[in-house]
Amino acid sequence: MTPRTLLLPLLLTGCFEDSATYGDGSGTGTWTGSGESNGMSQEGCQDRTRTCAEIRAAFADGAGDFELDCDEDAGLFTVYSSGVPLYDSNQTTPNGIADQGWQVTWSLTATCADGVEDVTSSRGEIGMTVNGIPFYGPEDGQGRDAIVYEGPTLDDCNGHSDNRCSYHHHNEPVCVFGTSTDIMDRAGDDGHPPVVAFAADGFPVHGVDPDDPDGAELDDCNGHQDADRGYHYHMTDDYPYTIGCLAGQDRFTAISSGAADGECDNSGGPPQ
């Protein structure tokens, strides 16, 4: 399997759905994509190749339990992460947070696809933050708006833990640089929000733009391009919160060992 191979889904896994076969050591990711554009489109996508220096500069050392490996000869970068944040997020989800043994590999070159892939009804990870935490689409395991229906379970850092004890986000990871650092403290000189994540297709995801918090100026994927950064996505305060579709043709290889036996306390059950 190459790093650009789309992992086939073994089962549908949402935030609080049954996950009997997850974490069984099979070493699989959980993302399930639609493979369909569903009438969505992007505007201005351009292929991008990054150096390892650029990738390293984007990641948030100290705010996550991860290691970044980058190989320009191979044209790949890989994040090894426990998926456990290195800060107290004032967690409100009844489920615990356990080491998920993430190994996520992207191409250094993000390549535009002929057509986009709708991820609004996806389950599982559709990208990873720059402190090694997966982010999901806008729906919970029951296909509802996760922010509306699961909002009370999100902690001060906009994260929560599913019944696999896998901590994740459905909207802007506000503590991605640590609980004491405002994302906009890392903004560019022009006020453009910094990279907070990389999507499954390798294009970067920036924080919410204070000048366009609802994404009115963005395409269906929550993306746009500018001369300095090329094509990229933004988190938004409104649906779809992270990204709506993937404009690129490649997909990361996201592998998780899942929580070790006995390490996931999910006895709290699904919150309502």
* Residue 75 CA to its chain's centroid (Å): 21
**Minimum CB–partner distance for residue 136 and Zn ion (Å):** 6
Nearer to Zn ion, 25 or 191 (CB): 191
Helix (H, G, I), strand (E, B) or coil at 117: strand
Nearer to Zn ion, 101 or 270 (CB): 270
Nearer to Zn ion, 3 or 271 (CB): 271
**Minimum CB–partner distance for residue 28 and Zn ion (Å):** 19
Nearer to Zn ion, 65 or 212 (CB): 212
Residues 5-34 that bind Zn ion (CB under 5 A): 15
**Minimum CB–partner distance for residue 73 and Zn ion (Å):** 30
Beta-bridge partners for 127: 135, 199
Nearer to Zn ion, 76 or 195 (CB): 195
**Minimum CB–partner distance for residue 226 and Zn ion (Å):** 6
CA dihedral sign of residues 186, 192, 195, 196: positive
Nearer to Zn ion, 33 or 223 (CB): 223
Q: Where are the beta strands (DSSP E) in 108-235?
A: 109-110, 112-118, 125-129, 134-136, 159-161, 167-169, 195-199, 204-206, 223-226, 230-234
**Minimum CB–partner distance for residue 169 and Zn ion (Å):** 8
> Is the distance from CB of 128 to CB of 102 less than 8 angstroms?
yes
Give the span between the Cα atoms of 244 and 223, in whole angstroms.
Answer: 9
**Helix intervals (H) in 26-103:** 52-58
b/e map of 52-84 (b: 16 or more CB within 10 Å)?
A: eeebeebbbeebbbbebebeeeeebbbbebbbb
**Minimum CB–partner distance for residue 210 and Zn ion (Å):** 12
Residue number of the CB closest to Zn ion reads 15
Nearer to Zn ion, 106 or 135 (CB): 135
Site string for Zn ion, 211-250 (x = CB under 5 A): ----------------------------------------
Site string for Zn ion, 64-103 (x = CB under 5 A): ----------------------------------------
> Is the distance from CB of 191 to CB of 123 less than 8 angstroms?
no
Give the span between the Cα atoms of 234 and 244, in whole angstroms.
Answer: 10
**Minimum CB–partner distance for residue 154 and Zn ion (Å):** 8
> Is the distance from CB of 253 to CB of 1 less than 8 angstroms?
yes
Q: Where along the sequence are the contacts to Zn ion (CB under 5 A)?
A: 15
